[in-house]
Structure 1
Amino acid sequence: MDASTRYIGPKGLDSVMNRFFNTLPRLGISVAGSRLLAVRGRKSGEWRTTMVNVLTAADGARYLVAPRGHTQWVRNLRASGTGELRLGRRVETFSATEVADTDKIPVLREYLKRWGWEVGRFFEGVTKDSTDDELAAVAPGFPVFALD
């Protein structure tokens, strides 16, 4: 599979679980720091939402990582460059800049430290303990955005 188009769609029980977990942030419930990401569709202009984990690094920088690859929300965020993070009635607008593959390694490692238990299956054997070379090899398949 070409890393620049890597996408792992929901299968079976994933779809049901996604609907359930996407409802929680709408109700103001955060699971391990989750938020509801809202981004305008690149073709329709309508708001599209999905649950994401917002990574806050030690230096305070914040990131969104796409463990399933080049998803629709990734494509929409690339097109718009802006979005919202929602939790209940709280809405935070942001702008985003995509992180270059060479700069993703520490972000991916930290993301796996925090949420490997949840998203590790999408990383196909790469873990928080993988070498920098192993993380660099898979980096193109995992879009990362820095939030401003």
Structure 2
Amino acid sequence: MADGPQTQDVHYRRPGWFTRNVLNRAISALARRGWSFWGSRVLETRGRRTGEPRRTPVNVLELDGRTYLVAARGTTEWVRNVRADDGRLALLLGRHRKTYRAHELGPSEQVPVLRAYLKRWKAEVGAFFDGVGPDSTDAELAAVAHRHPAFRLEPASGVARD
């Protein structure tokens, strides 16, 4: 699953109370009802300790005919769950469920993905990138890439679970 580095400088910015208890819940509730804001979905992973489904709202990036997820806050619980479950995940919107296999990108592969992600969602996530934005140089984006895991998603309908 992981094509890129996993253990460099582990970085994570925990969301505040308002984000966890109000924004994330509202976005998740709307996505469960089939409403998406700028590509939002509910990401479902298998908990690495319990095996139980874990859900969190995410922004899904479509770029050049491919689908990507970026962990703007860093090595989040969902990132750890995806890595532990060999890249298996599902994206939910209303009653629609699509299963994927995630392939982690290396820093050089991340540059165009991070640029497109920041171009679309900088107002929402820009604070997590320490001054790096969509107009930053490739070198500046590459320098922060290891702090923001990114995954290319490949459709995996029927991905078997243990």
TM-score (norm 2): 0.86
Q: How many residues are matched? A: 146
- For 1:4, the aligned partner's letter is D
Residue matched to 2:141? 135
- For 1:145, the aligned partner's letter is F
Q: What is the DSSP-based 3-state SS (H/G/I as helix, E as strand, rest coil) of the residue aligned with 1:129?
A: coil
- Cα drift, residue 4 of structure 1: 2.8
Residue matched to 2:69? 64
- Identity between Structure 1 and Structure 2 (%): 51
* 1:63–1:146 contact (8 Å) kept in structure 2: yes
Are residues 1:43 and 2:49 paired? yes
> In angstroms, what is the RMSD of aligned CA positions?
1.3
Q: What is the DSSP-based 3-state SS (H/G/I as helix, E as strand, rest coil) of the residue aligned with 1:55?
A: strand
* 1:39–1:48 contact (8 Å) kept in structure 2: yes
Residue matched to 2:19? 14
Residue matched to 2:100? 94
TM-score (norm 1): 0.94
Are residues 1:103 and 2:101 paired? no
Q: Which runs of 5+ in 1 are unaligned?
A: none
- Cα drift, residue 45 of structure 1: 0.5
- Cα drift, residue 13 of structure 1: 1.9
After TM superposition, the runs of 4+ consecutive aligned structure 1 residues lying more than 4 A away are: none
* 1:39–1:76 contact (8 Å) kept in structure 2: yes
